[in-house]
Structures are given as C-alpha cells and as structure tokens.
Amino acid sequence: MESELGDLISRVTVMKNEKDTLVWSSEATRCFTVSFAYECLVKTTRGPQIEAFKYLWKAKTFPNVMFTAWRVLLRRIPTRLCLRRKGVLLDTTVCAFCEAKEESCQHLFLECKFSCCVWTMCLRWIGVLFVQHNDIRNHFESFHLTQGSNKQNLIWKGEWATIVRCLWEHRNAVVFNQGVVDEEEVFQKAQLKSWLWLKYKRYNFNYFFSDWVLNPMLCISSYK
C-alpha cells in the first residue's frame, strides 16, 4: 500500500499557486454527470441480470412496481431468510404464506404453493401456456408472448412485475397487519393495478375494467 501510495503521489504535479479542486477524471470534460457514472457502473457490472433489466425498465407498469421487481430479480428483497442472514434477530424464518418452508426470495415468489396458485390464476386469465421456471430471472425472461409484438410483451413484462409486487404487498399485510392469506385477493389486485396503469398512462386505452378482466388479450391487441 505504501509503494502504491508513493506511485500515486509521484504522478501528481503540485501547483503552488493553484487551488485544490475535485475533478471527475473518467470523463474528458472533468465534470461529473450521473449518466456517465451510470455507464461506468454498467460496464463494470457484468452478468446475466443486465439483459433482464433492459426489459424490466421498459415494462409498462408503475415505477414503484418496477423497483420491487428489480429488488426481487437481484434477490435483495427483505424476506425473513434474507434478514436472518444479515444478522437480524427474528422469531421465525418460515414463509408467511404457507408456514411450511423457509422464506427465501425463490420460495416466496415462485415455489410456495400459495404463489404458484396466484401465478396459475393469472396465466389462466391471460390465456397463456407457460412453463414455470424455478429460477426467478428465467421466470421473468420466459414470461413472454411468442406471437406478441414488442409493445404487447412490455405490457406483459409489466404484468409480471405487478404480480410480484402484489405478492410482496400481500405478504407484508399478512406479516404486519394481520392480513389473511388469500390468493384471489392477490389475483384481483394484479388485474386492477395493471388496468389502472394502462388506463392512465396509455392515452388511447379505452377499455372498461370489466373488458380487461374478461379478455385482456383483446384489449392489448391494438398495440402493434
């Protein structure tokens, strides 16, 4: 470390009459910009998640929903098992839904029988045949309409994020507000939230909530 420091100092020319300033040496302008810092981070963060994030940030849903999905894809959502691993003292680490297995991210959102039931209800509603993956990232990437346009698929990616968010909100209601485990409630909330986003953000989406519930595929067929 000493020789490293000596090497760093030897490369600096001390200017007697100049004021000390901070500069962002990674850019030619020597000025810090958030976008350039983001580019630097993306270059250094290699890994398969990045591909998934490209779709996630374009998904058609609310920003807070995207944020929750992002944390889930990184497995950084504070499940009981995650908190225990970080040294938080908890009475239990069992899943708030089934109370049978440990509450890991993988279990809570995919493997739990309760979550599986919610996914099945949502897929039946959408009318898509889907092989469910055990890995959360594969699950997200596979949530795709093969015949769908890019816009339609971004709506479905938003649907995935919405289902994940609704599962997480429901889990928190069970843990903190004496909520009752109810898959129908999660399913209906996912339907409502996805419709609300389309209704208020997509200006030519003129379908009633009842249309959306009865035939979601028909409602998005205009998005080519």
Residues near Zn ion (CB under 5 A), total: 4
Contact region with Zn ion (CB under 5 A), list: 4-12, 68-76, 94-102, 119-127: 94-102
Closest distance to Zn ion from the beta carbon of 48 (Å): 26
Q: What are phi and psi of 102, to 5 degrees?
A: -70, 145
Q: Which stretch binds Zn ion (CB under 5 A): 40-48, 49-57, 95-103, 140-148?
A: 95-103
Residue nearer to Zn ion on the CB measure, 109 or 197: 109
**Is residue 95 at the binding interface for Zn ion, with CB under 5 A as the rule?**
yes
**Alpha carbon distance 135, 182 (integer Å):** 24
The alpha helices in the chain, defined as continuous H runs, are 2-10, 34-44, 49-56, 63-73, 80-85, 105-106, 113-126, 136-142, 150-176, 183-201, 209-214, 216-220
Q: Tokens 């300033």 label which residue?
A: 21
Lookup result for tokens 């909520």: 179
219 touches 205 (CB < 8 A): yes
Residue indicated by tokens 């000493």: 2
How far is 205 from 219, CA to CA, in rounded Å? 8
Question: What is the nearest approach in angstroms of Zn ion to the Cβ of residue 85?
Answer: 18
Least distance between Zn ion and beta carbon 101 (Å): 5
Stretch that binds Zn ion, among 43-51, 111-119, 144-152, 201-209 (CB under 5 A): 111-119
Which of 98, 128, 196, 217 forms a contact with Zn ion (CB under 5 A)?
98
Which of 53, 55, 97, 212 is the binder for Zn ion (CB under 5 A)? 97
Q: Are 193 and 166 in contact (CB under 8 A)?
A: yes
Piece of 34-42, 70-78, 109-117, 130-138 that binds Zn ion (CB under 5 A): 109-117
Is 117 a binding residue for Zn ion by CB under 5 A? The answer is no
In the complex, the residues that contact Zn ion under the rule CB under 5 A are 95, 97-98, 112
